[in-house]
Structure 1
Amino acid sequence: MQKLLSKLRQAINDYALIQSGDKIAVGLSGGKDSLTLLRLLREYKNFSPEKFDLIAITLNPGSGADFSPLHDFCKSIDVEFHEIPTDIKEIVFDIRKEKNPCSLCAKLRRGALNDYAKKFNCNKIALGHHKDDAIETLLLSMFYEGRVSCFSPKTRLEKADITLIRPMIYLEEYQTRKFCRDNSLPIIENPCPANGHTKREDIKNTIKMLGKDIPSIKKNLFGSLTNSDQLFIWDKEKIKKH
């Protein structure tokens, strides 16, 4: 845990993700990444120089998944937990019958999470994106949209009056997988019919294939995100001011 906490703290410091007085809602899907994020933030809270409050919000999409293990998990680490029922599955699959459901689903989940975070008086939402997510998003943008873009470690949403933070952007996916396994965290299997059949999954496999011939590919791609001398994407000083 100490190695992961070190990376978490580095990201928090590099991008000024947390300030004293914050109330942070963790978007807890039940997947390995969000479970790792909540557990690490709860541990970080014990020694953080910034005094902040932490809650967890799970959006139940109406898919029939059992989220009760998350209630027990949050109780065991003394984190306030809210499970919110939604009709996201019905809208995306039954009403709209989306062939490519990810975009609409993500939009609905973002809107609902923002609304409930504000309802519970949170000023920030913490999301479980990690280094591999950033690399995949960069390539998805380039390959499918013809632009160089990626989410930021910190994003201010003026209309929603809330700030998104991603404290795990220096962690790799294998680390969250191992952390959940080593600590027996209650992973909830993703019930989405599209799970494993997305463009992101294709990009993940492409990176893995290229890595056989270019072992440093992930390191180099991630380095391009922070190379603000050549192209601004993740400029620490500009992001801190947001």
Structure 2
Amino acid sequence: MSEVMQELDKKQITRLNKLQKRLRREVGSAIADYNMIEEGDRVMCCLSGGKDSYAMLDILLNLQQRAPVQFEIVAVNLDQKQPGFPEEVLPAYLDSLGVAYHILEKDTYSIVKDKIPEGKTTCSLCSRLRRGTLYGFAQRIGATKIALGHHRDDIIETLFLNMFYGGKMKAMPPKLLSDDGANMVIRPLAYCREKDIAEYAKLKAFPIIPCNLCGSQENLKRAEVKNMLKLWDKQFPGRIETIFTAMQNTAPSQGVDRNVFDFMALERNPDAPASGEVAEADLPAFDFMDVSNSGHIDLDNAAKHADSSQRIEVVGVYQP
């Protein structure tokens, strides 16, 4: 029995096992639904030291033992030279797991501090610099997939951020091909709830390293959206699940984006049979002249007195 399991009581062990099964099932479903991992893949698992990436690595290692395909996992951390970063934590943890890993050292901290004015959000630039470094390293080590620890809440929050502040219906796809076509990014936690991951990380006692590049600065816009979604989840249970389901069931022809649906080419077919929501044969038979004086047609009343086997016969049109 692991040291973590020894320190938990019976109730906590039961809860940990339940969470692990749920997360493993959700990650497995996401991988299968989006064909994230294939035979012979070398998956570069990006480890930041936060709860999400720890959980992702843990679940992927667990699934690796049971998966119907063979794949390799390589953990990679980018040491961005933040002051006070505990550089010994991740190597010690990864050594205890026996997983192959690389620690990259690149001083993006100085770049961010030099380019972003004091008090402004640094997350965007920091993310771009980190992504560029990781993309390049993935090609150097022959990684076929780059696994990131974004979960379902991140995906939904990004949707609303882009809607509210970017004017776009855009989120984080579970699987993404980089613009140059050289890297495939996957998000195995796409179906997992953040609160489940947080509880799992606590029970597993992952050695969490907080991001203090900006003094644990909170992205205010994302925090605002996160709080909105938390309130909805509390007031309207099931709403968050419905939102994510809606993201999986888009209907371009029912939207207004001319770039994803060709509205200009739509043409009515004059020879098409009446087969909409209500066909002509389904309407009650009555004489339009009976109601032409008032200009109103009471279909409900007509249906009570009409022979349902008859069809509508228009014998006159009211001209006010």
Residue 97 in structure 1 maps to residue 117 in structure 2 = yes
Structure 1 residue 36, shift from structure 2 partner: 0.3
1:12 is matched with 31
1:238 is matched with none
1:220 is matched with 242
- Conserved? CA contact 1:58–1:83, under 8 Å: yes
- Conserved? CA contact 1:139–1:203, under 8 Å: yes
Larger Rg: 2
Residue 52 in structure 1 maps to residue 87 in structure 2 = no
Structure 1 residue 196, shift from structure 2 partner: 2.2
1:164 is matched with 185
Normalised to the residue count of structure 1, the TM-score between the two structures is 0.90
Cα distance 1:139–1:95, how it changes in 2: closer, same or farther (>3 A)? closer
Cα distance in 1 for partners of 2:124, 2:64 equals 33
Calculate percent identity across the aligned residue pairs.
Answer: 34
User: 1:65-94 deviations in whole A, cap 9, x for unaligned?
Assistant: 113221122122221111111111100113
Cα distance 1:230–1:192, how it changes in 2: closer, same or farther (>3 A)? same
Structure 1 residue 217, shift from structure 2 partner: 2.3
AA partner of residue 222 (structure 1): F
* Count of residue pairs brought into register by the alignment: 232
Normalised to the residue count of structure 2, the TM-score between the two structures is 0.69
Cα distance in 1 for partners of 2:226, 2:61 equals 29
2:233 is matched with 211
Cα distance in 1 for partners of 2:123, 2:239 equals 27
Instruction: Give the secondary structure class of the aligned counterpart of 1:54.
Output: strand
The 10-residue stretch of structure 1 (189-198 or 49-58) with the greater mean CA deviation from structure 2:
189-198
Structure 1 residue 10, shift from structure 2 partner: 0.5
Which residues of 2 match residues 100-139 of structure 1 at below 5 A? 100-139=121-160
User: 1:108-137 deviations in whole A, cap 9, x for unaligned?
Assistant: 111001111111111110000111011101
Structure 1 residue 197, shift from structure 2 partner: 4.0
Pairwise CA RMSD: 1.8
Cα distance 1:188–1:97, how it changes in 2: closer, same or farther (>3 A)? same
- Conserved? CA contact 1:42–1:77, under 8 Å: no
Residue 147 in structure 1 maps to residue 168 in structure 2 = yes
- Conserved? CA contact 1:123–1:161, under 8 Å: no
Structure 1 stretches of 5 or more lacking a match? Answer: 233-242
2:222 pairs with one of 200, 204, 213? 200
- Conserved? CA contact 1:8–1:168, under 8 Å: yes
Cα distance 1:178–1:121, how it changes in 2: closer, same or farther (>3 A)? same
Cα distance in 2 for partners of 1:76, 1:43 equals 15
Structure 1 residue 158, shift from structure 2 partner: 4.9
2:304 is matched with none
Cα distance 1:227–1:18, how it changes in 2: closer, same or farther (>3 A)? same
- Conserved? CA contact 1:157–1:163, under 8 Å: yes
AA partner of residue 236 (structure 2): I
Cα distance in 2 for partners of 1:29, 1:58 equals 6
- Conserved? CA contact 2:174–2:190, under 8 Å: yes
1:23 is matched with 42
Cα distance in 1 for partners of 2:87, 2:193 equals 25
The answer to which structure, 1 or 2, has the higher relative contact order (CA under 8 A, 6+ apart) is 1
User: 1:123-179 deviations in whole A, cap 9, x for unaligned?
Assistant: 110000111011101100100011111111111125261100001111100111111
- Conserved? CA contact 2:42–2:73, under 8 Å: yes
